[in-house]
Amino acid sequence: MSGALVAFPTETVYGLGADATNASAVARIYEAKGRPSDHPLIVHVSSMEKISRWAREIPVYAISLARDFWPGPMTLVMLRSELAKDFITGGQDSVAIRVPAHAIALALLSEFENMGGLGVAAPSANRFGQVSPTTSKAVEEEIGEFLFEGDLILDGGPSLVGVESTIIDCTSSTPKILRPGAITREMIEECIGQSILENTNSEIRVSGSLESHYTPKAEVILGAMAEPGEGFIAFSTVKTPDGAIRLASPATIEDYARTLYAALRSADAQKIKRIAVLQPEGDGLAIAIRDRLTRAAGKEII
């Protein structure tokens, strides 16, 4: 309400938050991130009961999804209410809403609501298009110079999921996945009892949907073994090529997601010029990881 910003942990990545009803405070998010003003933000609330403040139409299947997966790494896009202004939605007639699954985030949101707040707008706490932070230290490195006296960075330890939330378009009779994440298509279909579409072309703009995104300074090369002096990311079962610099050796798909952004940041800290990545195969969370890596490499999503 004072217009200050707060960087806070969630289970996915760290967010940079402001009062979602305060236009000048939200403008500071865009300024700190260097984010285009027509790129919509996600409104964070403490519970699913609060979504009716922000959405004017809530499909039955959206209620089922909220019951099953909130708090959690899922964002629902619905037709906006009068409360959701253009400076939140990027001028669109829809609004993105999430209930994060992190004790500090939920405590922050609950305390803010107890003070009369209605929601916290928060994209990831990094410069626009660059690698999302999964620790408070990464937040400080990314945007510390753009924060003012009175702004806060809350330390909640490393993010447990490590990639951003699944974004689901709930503005029509059939939900569509606009950004893959830890809540997978299979999980969604089991919840609502119907088939859905994934990675479909949509007129709705959402976070992380640009072709080039999540990009480190280093060049990311997909599907290649590293040469001497290059960074290397692959499952722990893959041997590090001679002379390559191992950045991450995840043992499971969950480890892969959790360590990915820290590995990309480590490459930049070591001034590595190229990163060779062997992507995970399969469905589920692997789809989200491949999505982030494809955008980090500046490739077109097929």
What's the rounded Cα separation, in Å, for the pair 193 and 280?
Answer: 28
Q: Are strands 15-19 and 120-121 parallel, antiparallel or unpaired?
A: antiparallel
> CA geometry: angle at 41 spanning 163 and 158, to 5°?
30
Read off φ and ψ for residue 120, nearest 5 degrees.
-115, 120
Write down the pLDDT at residue 37.
Answer: 84
Q: Cα-flanking dihedrals φ and ψ of residue 140, to 5°?
A: -60, -45
- 100: preceding bond cis by omega (within 30 degrees): no
Output phi, psi for 2, to 5 deg. -80, -10
Task: Specify the residue for token string 């097929």.
Answer: 302
Q: Which residues of the chain have pLDDT under 50?
A: 301-302
Cα angle vertex 200, ends 197, 205, to 5°? Answer: 125
Distance between CA 49 and CA 179 in Å, rounded?
24
pLDDT for position 240: 98
Q: What is the DSSP letter of 150?
A: T
| In the chain, ranges of CATH 3.90.870.10 domains | 6-198
User: Among candidates 2, 6, 1, which has minimal Cα distance to 147?
Assistant: 6
How does DSSP classify residue 132? P
pLDDT at 301: 46
Phi, psi torsion values for 126, nearest 5 degrees: -140, 165
Q: Please report the sign of the dihedral spanned by the C-alpha atoms of residue 90, residue 128, residue 138, residue 178.
A: positive
Supply the pTM of this predicted model.
Answer: 0.94
The answer as to CATH 3.50.50.60 being correct for domain 6-198 is no
Of the chain, the end-to-end C-alpha distance in Å amounts to: 42
